[in-house]
């Protein structure tokens, strides 16, 4: 009778342990989700190590006392130490990559609230006097949208010409919106916006407009320099246009071929559909681009996904952007702009046309759908007042 009772109690005790292990597993599963959503990446990675380790300790608790449990615990400890060493190495390498990574100014990279129209603390350029064109709230106001690079510029236009009371950014009824290059071209094609400020559309954006029965009309309102940069320790300071095309076509692969060190060239690119990547494709002309470097990134919602790498300032790296948009990078002593065909990408050289890689940017509209207000606004942008704001915002005017 005692043996039966002892066996029954042991079975209940073991069952209780199993239930506790299952409950603990559920607890750590939800705790892991909480960590993944809430805490910084390093703590998130640390959970990869601590949670399995804790579950293994609970598993050891289920084992009977003796050599089996002791051996299992030593094995768990050895695995934990090995995992800790591996995790430390990964975190150290990630920290190194973070120290040399410079996220390129891409669509959505600015804080629009630093460049709001009608905000006294805004960084936008201002006329300093009333504009010759002023809209009222009762007029058919053109809905504006655009790329991140030009949000400060068209915020200046809004403050000069539009009525403040109807211009709350991205409000449902506001004509003042910001959805970056991709979103703005989609909005224009879908007739949710009337004028957008951006570089020209890429092939996919043109194809989408055709699907919507829309054709874009592009009105040049200014010029911007398309610039290339490298690690400041790279002895190569000047390239020709053809040499740069050779790099991004994958034909030129070592800096030694360009008068530099015997070091592999690592040409970074941007995401497809971004303004700067579209500009690179335009610069390349009919020459096909090489495949961009990519990173494997852990996405909480989608698992391991592949994305175009941010620029990493390796000794052999080369990247690109627009001059005004990347100007702050010059303050980084580890980055230097390349001259192209012997000409530095200064604003003066872009205005004069001496710098060879300058590109127009546009006020884009739907062809054949311009209203009287749109015509008045576009004419004002091309006037002396509008072009003065283009200059004051750091771009080369067309007039």
Q: Is 332 helix (H, G, I), strand (E, B) or coil?
A: coil
Q: How far is CA 3 from CA 10, 16, 28, 233, in A?
A: 10, 20, 37, 80
Question: What is the per-residue pLDDT for 93?
Answer: 55
Specify whether 96 is located in the same domain as 25. yes
Specify whether 144 is located in the same domain as 70. no
Question: What is the per-residue pLDDT for 43?
Answer: 53
Q: Measure the CA–CA gap between 72 and 60, rounded to whole angstroms.
A: 7
Instruction: Pick 13 or 175 by higher pLDDT.
Output: 175
C-alpha dihedral over 204, 209, 213, 219, to 10 degrees? -130
Residue 343, strand partner residues: 340
- List b or e across 340-357, with b for residues whose CB sees 16 or more CB atoms inside 10 angstroms: beebbbebebbbeeebbb
Supply 265's token pair: 């060239």
Specify whether 209 is located in the same domain as 322. yes
In this prediction, residues 227-247 reach a mean pLDDT of 93
Examine the fold and report which residue of 100, 118, 146 is the final residue of a domain before the chain moves on.
Answer: 100
Specify whether 293 is located in the same domain as 368. yes
Asked if residue 80 lies in contact with residue 49, where contact means CB atoms within 8 angstroms, the answer is yes
Which CATH number fits the domain that encloses residue 310? 3.40.190.10
Which range marks the domain in which residue 194 is found?
104-399
Closest CA to 32 of 49, 9, 7: 49
* pLDDT higher than 90, residue 89: no
Specify whether 47 is located in the same domain as 143. no
Q: Which residues contact 335 (CB under 8 A, 6 or more apart)?
A: 102, 229, 230, 231, 232, 313, 329
Give the helix, strand, coil percentages of the chain, each rounded to 5: 45, 15, 35
Q: Measure the CA–CA gap between 226 and 337, rounded to whole angstroms.
A: 11
Asked if residue 130 lies in contact with residue 124, where contact means CB atoms within 8 angstroms, the answer is no
Q: Is 76 left (phi over 0), alpha (psi -120 to 50) or beta?
A: alpha
Instruction: Pick 178 or 26 by higher pLDDT.
Output: 178
Specify whether 179 is located in the same domain as 321. yes
Examine the fold and report which residue of 61, 83, 100 is the final residue of a domain before the chain moves on.
Answer: 100
Which range, of 22-31, 116-125, 130-139, 384-393, averages the lowest pLDDT? 22-31
Which range, of 37-41, 170-174, 181-185, 276-280, averages the lowest pLDDT? 37-41
Closest CA to 223 of 76, 372, 63, 357: 357
Q: Which residues contact 348 (CB under 8 A, 6 or more apart)?
A: none
pLDDT tens for residues 248-257?
999 999 999 9
Specify whether 304 is located in the same domain as 363. yes
Instruction: Pick 304 or 17 by higher pLDDT.
Output: 17
Specify whether 53 is located in the same domain as 150. no
What is the total count of domains within the chain?
2
Q: Looking at 209-283, which runs of residues are DSSP E strands?
A: 216-231, 238-239, 266-267
Which pLDDT band, with edges at 50, 70 and 90, does 180 fall under?
confident
pLDDT tens for residues 294-346?
653 333 333 333 333 456 667 788 888 888 877 754 456 677 889 999 999 99
Specify whether 197 is located in the same domain as 327. yes
* pLDDT higher than 90, residue 243: yes
Specify whether 299 is located in the same domain as 156. yes
Closest CA to 381 of 146, 166, 178, 219: 219
* pLDDT higher than 60, residue 100: no
Instruction: Pick 294 or 5 by higher pLDDT.
Output: 5
Specify whether 88 is located in the same domain as 111. no
| Dihedral over Cα of 31, 36, 38, 41: its sign | positive
Q: Tell me the average pLDDT of the chain.
A: 80
Q: Which residues contact 214 (CB under 8 A, 6 or more apart)?
A: 188, 189, 191, 366, 367
In terms of average pLDDT, the best of 25-34, 38-47, 50-59, 349-358 is: 349-358
Question: What is the per-residue pLDDT for 320?
Answer: 86
Specify whether 241 is located in the same domain as 345. yes
Examine the fold and report which residue of 100, 127, 159 is the final residue of a domain before the chain moves on.
Answer: 100
């Amino acid at each position: 009778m005692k043996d039966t009772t002892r066996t029954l109690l042991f079975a209940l005790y073991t069952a209780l342990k199993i239930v506790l292990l299952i409950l603990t597993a559920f607890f750590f599963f939800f705790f892991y989700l909480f960590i993944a959503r809430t805490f910084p990446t390093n703590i998130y990675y640390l959970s990869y190590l601590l949670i399995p380790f804790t579950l293994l300790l609970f598993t050891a608790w289920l084992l009977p006392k003796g050599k089996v449990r002791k051996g299992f615990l030593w094995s768990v400890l050895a695995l934990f130490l090995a995992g800790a060493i591996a995790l430390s190495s990964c975190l150290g390498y990630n920290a190194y990559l973070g120290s040399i990574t410079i996220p390129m100014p891409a669509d959505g990279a600015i804080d629009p609230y630093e460049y709001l129209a009608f905000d006294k603390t805004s960084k936008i350029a201002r006329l300093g006097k009333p504009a010759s064109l002023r809209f009222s709230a009762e007029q058919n106001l053109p809905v504006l949208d655009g790329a991140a690079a030009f949000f400060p510029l068209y915020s200046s236009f809004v403050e000069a010409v539009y009525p403040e009371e109807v211009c709350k950014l991205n409000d449902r009824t506001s004509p003042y919106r910001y959805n970056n290059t991709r979103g703005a071209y989609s909005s224009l094609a879908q007739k949710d916006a009337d004028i957008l400020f951006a570089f020209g559309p890429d092939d996919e954006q043109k194809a989408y407009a055709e699907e919507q029965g829309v054709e874009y009309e592009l009105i040049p309102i200014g010029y911007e320099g398309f610039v290339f940069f490298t690690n400041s320790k790279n002895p190569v300071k000047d390239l020709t246009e053809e040499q740069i095309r050779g790099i991004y076509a994958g034909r030129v692969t070592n800096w030694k071929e360009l008068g530099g060190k015997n070091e592999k060239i690592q040409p970074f690119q941007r995401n497809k559909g971004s303004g700067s990547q579209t500009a690179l494709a335009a610069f390349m002309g009919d020459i096909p681009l090489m495949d961009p470097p990519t990173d494997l990134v852990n996405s909480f919602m989608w698992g391991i996904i592949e994305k175009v790498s941010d620029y990493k300032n390796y000794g052999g790296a080369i990247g690109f952007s627009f001059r005004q948009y990347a100007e702050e990078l010059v303050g980084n002593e580890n980055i230097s702009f390349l001259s192209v065909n012997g000409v530095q990408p200064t604003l003066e050289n872009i205005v004069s046309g001496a710098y060879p890689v300058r590109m127009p940017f546009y006020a884009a509209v739907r062809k054949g759908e311009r209203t009287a207000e749109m015509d008045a606004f576009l004419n004002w942008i091309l006037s002396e007042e509008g072009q003065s704001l283009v200059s004051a915002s750091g771009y080369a005017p067309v007039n």
